[in-house]
Structure 1
Amino acid sequence: MPEIVYAYLDVNYWHPWKIFGSISSVKQLELCLPSSKEYPVGTVFHNLVYLMLCTCETEWLNLLLCLLRDSPKLKFLRFEQYHPIRPSEERPCWSEPSSVPECVVSSLETLEWVKYEGGEEEKEAVAFILRNARCLKKATISAASTDPVKKLEMLKELSFLSRCSGTCHLTFD
């Protein structure tokens, strides 16, 4: 499907990777996938400029790193927790990649995080992006919590993170 522009995948099937080869020309992609264990090595999203990734599944960080590596022109990255997290599931641990994906360094301009909870893996993912995104112009973080004390603590933590781009405007809501 070489002309596909937008794809939304919310898949409950454990082997959705066969679809990726068919949508590699996509410009906008929204994903909620249960696993990244069988991510197809060699799939490159040459046209992808907008990525929304759901953070409800335990594998979201691994999937993020695969997609960043394979999306050299990505400009807009959005995280959102569309579905409730199952209490029985452990949250993922961040593993700093050995190299910074090309898109983070050379094209990523906007970061949005909706329903940010301030968990350790979320803080580390945001810190990695802010620290390495040279072209980042705007980062908008919206807290999941309505507790003003918790929101203030998150704001303090985020405001102390180093930013590679001196022109990045950080907004916390």
Structure 2
Amino acid sequence: MSFCLTNSSSCMKACHLPIFRNLRQLELVLHYCCSWWPELLKTSPNLESLVLDHSRHPSWRMDSCEFTWLQWNSPESVPSCVLSQLKTICTRNFRGGQDEMKVAKYMLEKGQVLKSLTLYTAHLVCTKEKLCMQLLMFYRGSKTCHVELK
């Protein structure tokens, strides 16, 4: 089963989520503050593929905000899918901001069976070379994980 979910944290915080036992693929379009999505991972124990699209709301101007919409806080416990099932992660519109890097680091460190992390970059806050060097320094829970910048 595959879901494509477009939502904001304000809607998801108040919700009690069911367990999605058959969910294997998930695409999340994150328009702004998205501190809720690790809770969704906790309810998806068999998730194998995750796509995070960091799209901005159409009304945002490129120069009008500091892109604080991610607001990443590591979950207290690692979602079981990250430890044992999650094989591919694709991130679209990756800028290389501090919170985005925290997410990449967390997923690389905790993803014990992760095979690939693909980052499609857009409007980077640094050069691709610097971003690549930072990513190479992160510990990897999976020794077979391939990281690719596009």
TM-score, length-normalised on structure 1? 0.75
CA radius of gyration, larger in: 1
Q: Which consecutive residues of structure 1, in runs of 5 or more, have no partner in the other structure?
A: 1-26
- Provide the secondary structure at the position in 2 that maps to 1:61: coil
1:119 aligns with 2:97: yes
Is contact 2:95–2:124 with CA below 8 Å preserved after alignment?
no
Is contact 1:33–1:57 with CA below 8 Å preserved after alignment?
no
Q: Where does 1:82-97 land on structure 2 (aligned, <5 Å)?
A: 82-84=55-57, 86=60, 87=64, 90-97=68-75
1: CA distance between counterparts of 2:109 and 2:39? Answer: 19
RMSD (Å) for aligned C-alpha atoms:
2.0
Q: Where does 1:16-55 land on structure 2 (aligned, <5 Å)?
A: 27-34=1-8, 35=10, 36-41=12-17, 43-55=18-30
TM-score, length-normalised on structure 2? 0.85
Deviation at 1:128, TM superposition (A): 0.7
1: CA distance between counterparts of 2:104 and 2:48? Answer: 16
1:108 aligns with 2:81: no
Q: Where does 1:1-173 land on structure 2 (aligned, <5 Å)?
A: 27-34=1-8, 35=10, 36-41=12-17, 43-58=18-33, 60-62=34-36, 64-84=37-57, 86=60, 87=64, 90-145=68-123, 150-173=127-150
2: CA distance between counterparts of 1:125 and 1:66? Answer: 14
Q: Which consecutive residues of structure 2, in runs of 5 or more, have no partner in the other structure?
A: none
- Provide the secondary structure at the position in 2 that maps to 1:53: strand
- Provide the secondary structure at the position in 2 that maps to 1:74: coil
- How many residues are aligned here? 143
Deviation at 1:29, TM superposition (A): 1.3
Is contact 1:137–1:168 with CA below 8 Å preserved after alignment?
yes
Deviation at 1:146, TM superposition (A): 6.9
Sequence identity of aligned pairs in percent?
A: 27
Report which structure shows greater RCO (CA 8 Å, sep ≥6): 2
Deviation at 1:61, TM superposition (A): 2.6
2: CA distance between counterparts of 1:52 and 1:165? Answer: 22
